[in-house]
Chains A and B, each alone.
Chain A
Amino acid sequence: MTGDHQTLALLLFSIFVAVTLGITTWVSRQRHGSAEEFYAGGRLFSPMENGFAIAGDYMSAASFLGISGVIALYGYDGMLYSVGFLVAWLVVLFLVAELVRNCGRFTLADVVAARMSERPVRIAAGTSSVTVSVMYLVAQMVGAGSLVALLLGGTSETARTWTVIGVGALMVIYVSLGGMRATTWIQIVKAVLLLGGTVALTALVLVRFHGDLDRLLRTAAERSGHGEAFLAPGLAYGGDWTSRFDFISLGLALVLGTAGLPHILSRFYTVPTARAARRSVVWSIGLIGGFYLMTIVLGFGAAALVGPDAVRASNAAGNTAVPLLAVDLGGGAESTGGTVLFAVVAAVAFATILAVVAGVTLASSASVAHDLYASLRRRGAKPRSEVAVARVAAVGIGAVAIALGLLARDLNVAFLVGLAFAVAASANLPVLLYSLFWRGFTTRGAVWAVYGGLVPAVALVLLSPVVSGSPQSLFPGVDFQFFPLQNPGLVSIPLGFLAGWIGTVISPEVPDAGKHAETEVRSLTGAGAV
């Protein structure tokens, strides 16, 4: 890319950073660390604001760059991702959002621990939440690294490293200074920017084809070299049975994982009531659905206008399809329009990553301080302000994510996100659904459900071709690969549910009918909700 592109993109991105830093200081003025304020932003956001913030938290760079890129390279198979990411919201809306808002205070563990012996359940749920968040963070860090490699062209490793560190440091500043209130506003700004950019690009693609979608699809199919097959599934996942099962596994993880993502769950606590939580999910489903529909147009547009060969030449995983499309739509690499559009897209993508990273860091620092620290600290110790612990935790988690992000920098971003979803679906969703809906659920069942999903999910990832045994692995030199699928969801999600059931059945503990009544009444009516 030329110097103009880079300068303008960096300028726009600096403006975003400056604006969000301004927001952070503005909203955090004269607000001193109550936990309510730090974790939940005072609980007074409106459903529309929270809907935009949820959409901002959810639409990561993997969606914006990754899905369009997969569509540009493999056609229809990329659409399978967007369908899974969207349908997942029905699980959230029907089974989770309102009930979690009514029962909990800040984290997933609040909901589960209310019915159970508190300490072991909190430790289990806190551990799994932190694990999921760190995996999700690593994916975003890797995305930031690839994006800067794209921006700065044939860039050095040092520049990439420093970008990842810089992104991590910025997010720690946002989170520890601004808490949930600042993070929410950053998500809102980012969601508006991202949607605005996507709408503009989609409109330009449609104008180029005079609104004729049929012609867009036909051109994409011809240009791809695959013909009609480009518009049907099978190019990416149609090979042997292993890759087909791998995709089914990923599909399950996507649809069930969203409801177990800690940073999504914590967003429901920023609104005053369950009704407001429901309305914010309705908002976010509208925004996210519209966004994914537009990424489909952008993906096929990139295939038709840029061509898969040019996309592949720029980045083998297709992550650069949308920036390249922007250059083309603006009038070509040498034109002012192309430079400006490219810079806008790159800056939006950076902003996207930064905002998602802030949201996830905040959620995981809440898990550390509210669940793990509160359960593990010495009995006699002064109940130090949880918020202070959370600020320290944000720094620690940021450091861990930066280190792992540098280690995993050659892995595919969308794929890493898929792993985080698989772990969330295996470890967090079973325990959440059981404790909301199962009268006989016990403490042992809860602990087993968490570890019974978490341990297999993580172990299967470690034994998969992702880590060893293939040229693309994290450690290509060694081979302890045992499990053929890259995504563990197909096995580990049923195991999580099964472990919770077995743990409950063999538990000697008699479930407390009163506690169950309390959870059920509170979850459906909102009685006693904070």
Chain B
Amino acid sequence: MQSSNDRLRGPGGGFENAVGRRGTADLPPDEASASPAYDDPWYDALATGWGESAGARVPEPASPPTPPEAAGAPPRAAADVYLEVQRSAAFQEVRSRYRRFVIPAVAAFFVWYVAYVVAATTAPALMARPVAGSVNVAMLAGLGQFLTTFLLTWAYARHARLRRDRAALELRWDTQELTRGVRGGAS
């Protein structure tokens, strides 16, 4: 996996400034997107431009995730790296953004779908009530399911693109650098 030049660190060392290093977070979004961090082939100019707001920036960690004296410690296991990243404020923010969108959305569409199926099978009289011409409640509810599916898809894709992708990618490179250090170059 390729990495950008400004991220190379010696193996084993530099953990404390890795997850803690949120340099791009301090930059305005435009500069951040222009940084070489996005020179990887799969990062096709995502979310630069419209809709990009300050809210989409990678948040500052509350505190450095590891104490400075850990720098000289012997190489740690990969599990420690993942635990460390999991505890970092940047990751917590990505995770809570994901959950804050997904949990209500799943609850909403699942309840709406089950209500639709149950109503269709147990309350046909209600569903047969005419609305306009030959269109009845059932037809509107069915087409409503299509519509809400399309809307939720659009909303999720937009949310992920603007609010999660950038931060997740930063974390990905940082974490991979760290685990590479741990595993002695094997990544």
**Which A residues lie at the B interface, using CB under 8 A?**
76-77, 79-80, 83-84, 86-87, 89-91, 93-95, 98, 214, 217-218, 221, 228-229, 231-234, 237-238, 244, 247-248, 251-252, 255, 272-273, 275-276, 278-279, 282, 285-286, 289, 292-293, 512-515, 517-518, 520-522, 524-529
Contact = CB atoms under 8 A, between A and B. Distances in A.
A514 B120 contact: no
Interface residues of B, number: 57
Contacts of B110: 255
23 contacts: A76-B138, A79-B142, A80-B120, A90-B149, A91-B106, A93-B153, A94-B102, A218-B133, A234-B124, A234-B128, A244-B121, A247-B117, A247-B120, A248-B121, A251-B117, A289-B146, A513-B83, A517-B85, A521-B171, A524-B95, A525-B169, A526-B168, A527-B175
Given A228-B130, A282-B157, A83 B146 contact: yes
Given A217-B135, A276-B42, 17 more contacts: A76-B142, A83-B142, A86-B149, A87-B113, A90-B106, A218-B134, A228-B136, A231-B128, A244-B121, A273-B42, A275-B46, A278-B160, A279-B157, A289-B146, A518-B79, A524-B91, A525-B85
A76 B105 CA distance: 27
B43 to A, nearest CB: 8
A62 to B, nearest CB: 19
A226 to B, nearest CB: 11
Interface string B78-94: 11101101100001001
A94 B154 CA distance: 12
Interface in B105-154: 105-106, 109-110, 113-114, 116-118, 120-122, 124, 127-128, 130, 133-136, 138-139, 142, 145-146, 149-150, 152-153
Contacts of A255: 110, 113
A248 B121 CA distance: 8
Interface string B149-187: 110110011001000010011011001100100000001
A244 B122 contact: yes
Nearest to A218: B134
Given A232-B136, A514-B77, A83 B102 contact: no
Contact of B175 (A79, A512, A521): A521
Nearest to A76: B138
A520 B117 contact: no
Main secondary structure of the interface of B (DSSP, over half): helix
A233 B139 contact: no
A514 B79 CA distance: 5
Given A87-B149, A237-B121, A515-B79, A528 B176 contact: yes
Nearest to B95: A524
Interface of B: 41-42, 46, 77-80, 82-83, 85-86, 91, 94-95, 98, 102, 105-106, 109-110, 113-114, 116-118, 120-122, 124, 127-128, 130, 133-136, 138-139, 142, 145-146, 149-150, 152-153, 156-157, 160, 165, 168-169, 171-172, 175-176, 179, 187
A303 B98 CA distance: 45
A517 B168 contact: no
Contacts of B91: 521, 524-525
A202 B165 CA distance: 39
Please report whether the interface of chain A is mostly helix, strand, loop or mixed according to DSSP: helix
Contacts of A525: 85, 91, 94, 168-169, 171-172, 175
A441 B126 CA distance: 43
A521 B145 contact: no
Contacts of A514: 77, 79-80, 82-83
Contacts of A221: 134
B42 A275 contact: yes
A217 B150 CA distance: 24
B42 A86 contact: no
B142 A289 contact: no
A40 to B, nearest CB: 15
Given A80-B117, A86-B149, A232 B79 contact: no
Contacts of A527: 85, 171-172, 175-176, 179
B134 to A, nearest CB: 4
A526 B43 CA distance: 13
Given A232-B127, A238-B124, A289-B149, A248 B118 contact: yes
B135 A518 contact: no
Contacts of B172: 525-527, 529
Contact of B138 (A231, A521, A524): A231
Nearest to B187: A528
Contacts of B78: 518
Nearest to A221: B134
A285 B150 CA distance: 8
A251 B121 CA distance: 11
Contacts of A86: 145-146, 149
Contact of A95 (B77, B102, B171): B102
